Amino acid sequence: MGLDLFSLKGKVAVVTGASRGFGRAIALGLAESGADVVLAARTVSALEELAREIEGLGRRALPVQADMGDAAAIDRLATATIETFGKVDILVNNAGVGGSLPFLNIAADEWQRILDINLKGYVLCTQAFGKYMFKAKYGRVINISSAMGEYPLPYLTHYAASKGAINALTKSLAQEWATRGITVNAIAPSYFETDMVKESKENEQANALIMSRTPIKRYGKVEELVGLVNYLACDNASYMTGAVIPLDGGWSAG
């Protein structure tokens, strides 16, 4: 059996925030395991480049420009997926934004912006694609959360609140859809080598704090997320649902 246990051949996956970082690595990893992939992000040129890479692996790819804060764009994304592939098997909710501010300096519109993209975007995508999974009685929803959802640092209240809500969403929806053949899980990474953490890494004080919380004493690499996503996406993960899995170099162990 070997690697066939983790095969995604014949599956259709949707990855949001696919133009860079986690999303790009996840999309390539799913394609390497046999899935056709729908790529969603705001920067279409980066998606088209990634689509060519995936097609070079012998898989089909559909790049779709979509802002996860725009409900109409998410509906168009779902429609394009079904029109092109006829189904959706895997949804990876990954698109998100960060930010570091003292709590008293967070304006209402900034708080709302973080929640709209990080949380509302996940909700709308899961509703838009979940209805097809619900009808098919099969699906894998994988939410990229954060260690900040349960073990937050200061100055991240808006970001941490959005990720904590994703964890709760994951656990509640997993129970609601458990008898429909749909699993709902989350992965909670800590600090990885992405554009989002560049400022923290370059700040001596912030970097020292991050390393003090990370027993492995380094930042994660995006490739280290791929295997876990692929496992949660495959048929053999059918008994795992409602999990929020830390991938944090030991952050949550202390």
For position 200, what pLDDT does the model report? Answer: 83
Task: List, for the chain, all residue ranges whose pLDDT scores fall below the cut of 70.
Answer: 1-3
Residue 24 to residue 16: CA distance in whole angstroms? 9
How would you list the strands of the sheet with 244-247, edge to edge? 61-65, 36-41, 12-16, 90-93, 139-144, 182-189, 244-247
Residue 201 to residue 148: CA distance in whole angstroms? 16
CB 184 within 8 A of CB 170: yes
Active site positions, annotated: 159
For position 3, what pLDDT does the model report? Answer: 61
The H or E element containing residue 56 is helix 44-56
Tell me the whole-structure pTM to 2 decimals.
Answer: 0.95
Give the helix ranges, DSSP H, for 137-222.
Answer: 157-176, 198-202, 204-212
CB 33 within 8 A of CB 230: yes
For position 197, what pLDDT does the model report? Answer: 81
Residue 174 to residue 16: CA distance in whole angstroms? 20
Domain covering 2-234: architecture: 3-Layer(aba) Sandwich (3.40)
For position 80, what pLDDT does the model report? Answer: 98
Look at residue 43 and give its three-state secondary structure. coil
Residue 139 to residue 14: CA distance in whole angstroms? 11
For position 82, what pLDDT does the model report? Answer: 98
Give the residue from 104, 192, 111, 198 showing the smallest Cα distance to 148.
192
Cα dist from 253 to 9, 61, 184, 212, whole Å = 35, 38, 24, 12
